[in-house]
């Protein structure tokens, strides 16, 4: 719904289409998903416009930042979620947000772009639990059969309904220079651990405090980072396999997004990377949809309780609702 994080990008006004459709169709519930940066974009003006626009069209709306790992996706991916209820349903703003099922923290106790202490990761699905059963594959090649049995509950759920067939387990072809770089990196290491002369020219001028995840090799016991469309490129971030000298395959990235292995991605390879990288993590989407259905059926869970407690947002109240009025959309 939003474009780049600059206010003059015309895609930032696509939320007006959501408001138009809410007025024309009058659905009972509206769910909007976006990046956490929406909270601060233009000083919060876009978030205020969305919430205020929904309120003006007869909806009670609230928002919160949800972490996909808290709902079973093996990925530290944050999303801003807005849920609005048609006012005649008499469902208060702040309902419809599912309570976390993994980890130890409630909504609002962890923050995007803030260091999370190791013990706060306990209970999240690790790289090994997510990917450890998938067969080895060389950069530029594809493997179409499993070679072992699933070892974790997550792996078993991903392989449900399949026998030996394996789809989309293709790893991107890499340059010889990149293969040589990856061969020198141990789990958890990144571009700063490479010999200076082996770095791309642009990175030879970079400060060591910058780009800290470029070329980083994943660790088996860590929690994978947020999947993006460019996960084929080791320079993009922490997308190098924990053991093999390649970036993660399309299937491995799909697993991190929560897509079961029976879900096949079609189209060109570029299209498949975009399909996977742009998706909302399936476990997070499922948790939200389930809680919205429960609310509509008269069985709501808990109401949001100070979702921005650690980083207060002036225009947002204790249940994620708009409290500061601006100009109606």
Domain ranges of the chain: 10-118+282-296
User: CB of 61 within 8 A of CB of 17?
Assistant: no
Q: Which class for 97: exposed (0-12), middle (13-18), buried (19 or more C-beta within 10 A)?
A: buried
The helices-and-strands tally (H runs, E runs) of the chain is 9, 3
Record the tokens describing residue 83, joined without a space: 């849920």
C-alpha to C-alpha distance for 156 and 60, rounded to whole angstroms: 40
Q: What is the pLDDT of residue 329?
A: 41
Q: What is the pLDDT of residue 261?
A: 98
C-alpha to C-alpha distance for 291 and 302, rounded to whole angstroms: 10
Whole-angstrom CA distances from 263 to 127, 141, 160, 305, 320 are: 20, 20, 11, 36, 34
Q: What is the pLDDT of residue 13?
A: 77
Q: What is the pLDDT of residue 212?
A: 75
C-alpha to C-alpha distance for 113 and 326, rounded to whole angstroms: 28
Q: What is the pLDDT of residue 46?
A: 93
Number of C-alpha atoms within 13 angstroms, CB side, residue 259? 22
Per-residue pLDDT tens, the chain, 329 aa: give them.
444 445 545 556 788 999 999 999 999 999 999 999 999 999 999 999 999 999 999 999 999 999 999 999 999 999 999 999 999 999 999 999 999 999 999 999 999 989 899 999 999 999 999 999 999 999 999 999 999 999 999 999 999 999 999 999 999 999 999 999 999 999 999 999 999 999 998 888 888 877 778 999 999 999 999 999 999 999 999 999 999 999 999 999 999 999 999 999 999 999 999 999 999 999 999 999 999 999 999 999 999 999 999 999 999 999 999 996 554 44
The correct answer on CATH 3.30.429.10 for the domain covering 10-118+282-296 is no
Q: What is the pLDDT of residue 12?
A: 64
pTM score, whole prediction: 0.92
């Amino acid at each position: 719904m939003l474009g780049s994080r600059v206010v003059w990008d015309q895609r930032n006004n696509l939320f007006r289409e959501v408001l138009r459709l809410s007025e024309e169709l009058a659905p009972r519930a509206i769910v909007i998903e976006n990046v956490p940066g929406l909270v601060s974009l233009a000083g919060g003006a876009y978030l205020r416009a969305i919430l205020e626009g929904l309120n003006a069209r007869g909806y009670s709306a609230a928002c919160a930042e949800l972490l996909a790992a808290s709902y079973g996706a093996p990925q530290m991916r944050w999303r801003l979620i807005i849920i609005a209820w048609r006012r005649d349903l008499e469902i208060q703003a702040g309902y419809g947000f599912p309570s976390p099922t993994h980890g130890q923290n409630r909504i609002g106790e962890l923050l995007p772009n803030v260091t999370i202490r190791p013990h706060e990761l306990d209970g999240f699905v690790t790289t090994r639990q997510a990917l450890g059963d998938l067969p080895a594959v060389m950069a530029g090649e594809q493997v179409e059969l499993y070679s072992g049995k699933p070892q974790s509950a997550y792996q078993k759920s991903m392989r449900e309904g399949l026998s030996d067939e394996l789809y989309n387990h293709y790893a991107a072809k890499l340059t010889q220079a990149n293969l040589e770089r990856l061969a020198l990196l141990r789990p958890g290491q990144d571009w700063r651990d490479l010999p200076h002369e082996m770095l791309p020219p642009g990175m030879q001028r970079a400060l060591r405090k910058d780009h800290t995840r470029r070329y980083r090799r994943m660790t088996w016991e860590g929690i994978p980072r947020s999947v993006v469309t460019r996960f084929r490129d080791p320079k993009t971030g922490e997308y190098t396999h924990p053991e093999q000298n390649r970036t993660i395959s399309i299937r491995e990235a799909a697993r991190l997004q929560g897509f079961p292995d029976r879900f096949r991605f079609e189209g060109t390879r570029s299209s498949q990377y975009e399909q996977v990288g742009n998706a909302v993590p399936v476990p997070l989407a499922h948790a939200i949809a389930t809680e919205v259905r429960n609310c509509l059926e008269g069985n709501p869970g808990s109401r949001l309780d100070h979702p921005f407690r650690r980083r207060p947002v002036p225009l947002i109240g204790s249940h994620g609702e708009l409290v500061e009025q601006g100009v109606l959309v």
